Chains A and B, each alone.
Chain A
Amino acid sequence: MTFEYSPAPESTSIVDISAQYGLFINGKFVDAKGSKTFNTINPATEKVLSKIAHAQASDVDKAVAAARAAYTKVWSKMAPQERGKYLFRIARIMQERAREFAVLETMDNGKPIRETRDIDIPLAAAHFFYHAGWADKLKYAGAGDNPRPHGVVGQIIPWNFPLLMLSWKIAPALATGNTVVLKPAETTPLTALLFAEVCQQAGLPAGVVNIVTGDGATGSALVNHPDIDKIAFTGSTGVGKGIARAIAGTGKSATLELGGKGANIVFDDSPIDQTVEGIVSGIFFNQGHVCCAGSRLLVQENVHDELIEKLKRRISQIRVGDPLDKNTDLGAINSAAQLARIEEISSSGDSEGALRWSPECALPEKGFWYPPTIFTGVTQANRIAQEEIFGPVLSVLTFRTPQEAIDKANNTPYGLSAGVWSEKGSRILWAAKQLKAGVIWANTFNKFDPASPFGGYKESGWGREGGRHGLAAYLKGGEK
């Protein structure tokens, strides 16, 4: 007798993808200046989903001008509670159209429908609800008695959580009275374009939200635009550094949410079965395309073998395949380029002497796939312990004493996230004090909430997003 799960694919009939998309400027979909376009594909099948306009510098100009006009004439003059109403309306529409968003996100990104359905989309809507409530309470946001918006914000988001990152950016910006020009990632523009429709549906005043699609050149035009007051960026540390250089001395503010190499620290008194679950969600959630992933597992040496045995058993049960199947745990890698990067860094693990293990799992022929992988016997000196892989690859290191665990965890240019697993409360609190990371999870991992600030130390970025701290990043304080 075997209990094989039959295919349970989510229907795609709910989404209606146009053959071609223009830019969303001043409340309308418009053609881009040039005729240049690029394709967005489904990474699980390599099928082209749609043709996307490539915004040129002059298109960015138009978008910024629209945002500026909307800021000056409408949005900054509107009563705060009215702004809040628009955010509530957007949040409700996102909930009403949640399945449509979930299916579209899965098709465009390759992540499992279980995650878009249960995590990405509900959290995205939650961010709008949370910030809607703040719109008329900004005096309590921590920016003093006279909080003011920056003006026009340029926002650039990554491909790993397309709609969720859009929400992290747009909801606080709008709640605080800014207007935005947002550039979604090149490989995942579709949910941002659907969000543009939601803005229309909600009757949001024209120009408050503008969406320009394109590549790095488009992003660069946005960053360097003289009429942008603030840049909010989520993406790689390399690009983040470039942005910091570009805006130095211009008076533009910035929030940068960059890479990470999160340490997940397991002490010998951890609740082992839940620890295994936490390790799995720490590195295999969203194919490991998570800046705060627990990609470095630090295990107390006396429980290493037992933990790894249990971990391997659990990883063997991960269901890899069709992202639209409701039982899929691990979907497709977002792009051929990312797959190549994962393969390149991982192969350094082999050549530098770490021990690779993956369960037996058949990968689909078409599309971009990487099996869940762990490397044991990794040391701090290995590339796979230092560089962000951004894929389903876990590096396992050991430690002997609590202090050694902290030292190794902090021995990285990054400082975004960390996890601590122990049944001893005092040890958790002690470890949390020592760890240099923006987010520290205790006996859990990769849990997000709009009320909780998120951001990094060191090369993981500047500023915080979410919660009161994230709100403050969109406000100027002090005298008028």
Chain B
Amino acid sequence: MIRTSRISVVVTGTLAALVLAACSSSGGKQPAEASGAAKAGVADTPQMTIALITHAAPGDTFWDLVRKGAEAAAAKDNVDLQYQSDPDGANQANLVQSAIDKKVDGIAVTLAKPDAMKANVEKAVQGGIPVVALNGGIEDWKAMGISGYFGQDEKIAGEAAGERLKADGAKKALCVIQEQGHVGLEARCDGAKATFPDTEKIYVTGTDMPSVQAAITSKLQQDPSIDRVLALGAPFALTAVKSVKDASSSAKVVTFDTNKDLVTAIKNGEVEWAVDQQPYLQGYLAVDSLWLYKVNGNTIGGGQATLTGPAFIDKTNVANVEKFAANGTR
């Protein structure tokens, strides 16, 4: 008995020592990071249900920000927000149908695949459910009878990126598309090509980071004249930084869209600049505008799209964005 208890004391002691020794002295979860978005009072209007239906692929950091913006608006407006997403056009249209079936009070929807969405969105509008569009479908939302649009024009954003490349004195850019056949991503590259003709496209498999890295590396090795890598999403820009190093290339990395790590990379000079379309704002405005429409009959934009971008984040203004990015809201 004495023996076993002594052993157990030794075992417990060793385990405790191991656990203590195992603690990291730096990094890890910080208590401050738990607090999320802006806090404000709650509206005293009766609770309503709003469905936010996007074409987000699971696990894309960009959509985290859209959702957080929508949740912040929902919390403030006493809205029960039901978030759903499916990258497949037909499936996303079905989600709109199920929102109609549930008789929600409003629908916010992305129109990345407008043809697939058209029928069900029009059904919702005709059924008296107010609908706003966000992020994708700037060409198509008006025709569907939707009351407002919040997003950026991908073509214009691409052109702005091309202008910036020209102003920076770049010679040749590589535009990295992480999802083949995605209209918005193609529009960005095409826009960049319109104002900066020496832009070449490359397709990579966005769900497989090692292959993204190897593909960009090989392209940089094949064509040493490339001096800018234009990524179309923050995680891919951060991977492109590694590719540039692997290929011993002197190319600089620029990108569309941001996340917390990308903001740090801009601050460190690893990434030159990012085109920001303010995804948080898109989600927030979409929900808030539906609430305004319901309680006061307002619409935003005067029948025109409300543009949330493009704006550039670079070394000169990154400090303003940094503290919000640390909260996971920029």
A, B assembled together: no
